[in-house]
Structure 1
């Protein structure tokens, strides 16, 4: 993502009223407007919203729009967080997110040792003709101070790594980690981006969801998480006649890889019993698999 121009930060404030609770999110108008032609028309066009500087998104979750704003300003968004469920008697495994590197930004780096002070030592009897030697000591001290200055370092990597870590996809590590909010977090971003024509965000959300699914361990207790992703996907994406929506395609590709595990899920059975586009697409994909 290209660096934001000064004009973004000096642009007028625009307020979005999000979700059923009408949570107010205020951002620079240009940051959102430059994401797509549709959003630019909404913010800078002739509609009422452009005149009042307020738009209402009733059908958008608060955390979804926050991630849209994160993307608008940084080109990335923080990965949704899983829910830690109570232990269910399954073998215990590490379940916490690996913390960012434990680096103390306030800890000083290694510095050259300063030569011992000459004030506490007895000065040797030096003949005036050796005055040049004293001058040499002053030059050495000056060089030492310069070296000390040149080697001064400031820790900029720790905050960068911390921010990057919050945006990275992580693999689930035990059956008590409910990944439903993780799956739906990426899927909801895709749906918003698809509706408003934010192609870069569509691609990024698909990329992160793919990485999440590719490393996801389908514990028996967590198959329902995948079923919820399927349900949301088919409830909120269009049913094309000659092609498949990108989110549906990604989810269906995953299902055909893991179908032997998923058929053990009661939630998955319920989806199949409902029939409709999902059952149709699954049959088509399975026919390709065995064909």
Structure 2
């Protein structure tokens, strides 16, 4: 799928992507670059973020239903472009104003089916929230998913989490710090609202593995997305360790396990100090 965006916006947000436009190579001559390291859904959300500063996680892109983004569609939007001319009310975008990107990786039909199910579940939850904002909605949510589990269906929580993780990894690769922070914040929110970690340990382990396999080990500071998943695991460590998936992960070792063990040790030390202070306070 091809996505055509304003060059001026690319220049503002990503130096690596801007170089594809100005490097004098084939892509800059043709006005189109193929990105082989990102799937279409993730890149579509990136384009959405460029123009709106938000991205959707409840309505995944389906190739058969969504056409490519064309220059004339972009010109009709009323999004201001800083430090650039920007189309006026009577003007039209020229080819020189735009650049096309193609996301080469396609999601499998199985993953597309999961994504559609996630969208349907999110719509049901949003409809429930509109009908009833009282605390009993939590109970209705639990009952709905318990029934679904009994029927052998999966809510595919991992896919919900991976939407944000994939976007973070893409933004990290192309130096888009604002989008990195947004994706990390949204993953943190999704994990904090999750609950029932024992029953979904496989999903937590899956997203944690993805994050540590696709983000660099930074010596000077901890990667923001790594911090999010490690903190979530640490705060739910006792519950997660009752699962086979988490036990297997801890036996593997590596950066993820080292980070989790370090945070768990810090938390235990903090709790002991708090307990000691409380005893002395008596």
Return the TM-score normalized by structure 2.
0.61
Residue 198 of structure 2 corresponds to residue 198 of structure 1: no
- The aligned residue for residue 96 of structure 1 is 124
Aligned with 1:43 (options 9, 21, 25):
21
Q: Distance in 1 between matches of 2:264 and 2:241?
A: 13
Q: Tell me the SS of whatever aligns to 2:172.
A: helix
- The aligned residue for residue 7 of structure 1 is none
- The aligned residue for residue 282 of structure 1 is 260
More helix per residue: 2
Q: Distance in 1 between matches of 2:25 and 2:252?
A: 40
Cα deviation digits, residues 1-44 of structure 1 (max 9, x gap):
xxxxxxxxxxxxxxxxxxxxxx3333333333432222222223
Q: Distance in 1 between matches of 2:218 and 2:197?
A: 32
For the 8 Å contact 1:80–1:186, the answer to whether it is kept is: no
Q: Distance in 1 between matches of 2:37 and 2:46?
A: 14
Residue 248 of structure 2 corresponds to residue 270 of structure 1: yes
Question: What is the deviation of 1:95?
Answer: 9.0
Cα deviation digits, residues 216-273 of structure 1 (max 9, x gap):
1225432211111101001001112343211101111111101111112222222222
- The aligned residue for residue 54 of structure 2 is 76
Q: Distance in 2 between matches of 1:189 and 1:289?
A: 30
- The aligned residue for residue 188 of structure 1 is 166
Q: Distance in 2 between matches of 1:244 and 1:276?
A: 15
1:152-171 equivalent positions in 2, closer than 5 A? none
Gaps of 5+ in 1: 1-22, 86-93, 103-171
1:1-291 equivalent positions in 2, closer than 5 A? 23-80=1-58, 84=117, 96-99=124-127, 173=142, 174-175=145-146, 176=148, 177-291=155-269
Q: Distance in 2 between matches of 1:202 and 1:276?
A: 24
Query: Higher RCO, 1 or 2 (CA under 8 Å, sep at least 6)?
Result: 2
Q: Tell me the SS of whatever aligns to 1:216.
A: coil
Moved more, 229-238 or 214-223: 214-223
Cα deviation digits, residues 24-68 of structure 1 (max 9, x gap):
333333333432222222223334322222212222111100000
- The aligned residue for residue 108 of structure 2 is none
For the 8 Å contact 2:14–2:176, the answer to whether it is kept is: yes
Q: Distance in 2 between matches of 1:258 and 1:50?
A: 49
Q: Distance in 2 between matches of 1:35 and 1:97?
A: 34
Distance change (3 Å), C-alpha of 1:54 and 1:190? same
Root mean square deviation, CA, Å: 2.7
Q: Tell me the SS of whatever aligns to 2:13.
A: coil
Q: Tell me the SS of whatever aligns to 2:194.
A: coil
Structure 1 or 2, whichever has the larger Rg, is 1
Distance change (3 Å), C-alpha of 1:284 and 1:220? closer
Q: Tell me the SS of whatever aligns to 2:126.
A: coil
Distance change (3 Å), C-alpha of 1:270 and 1:58? farther
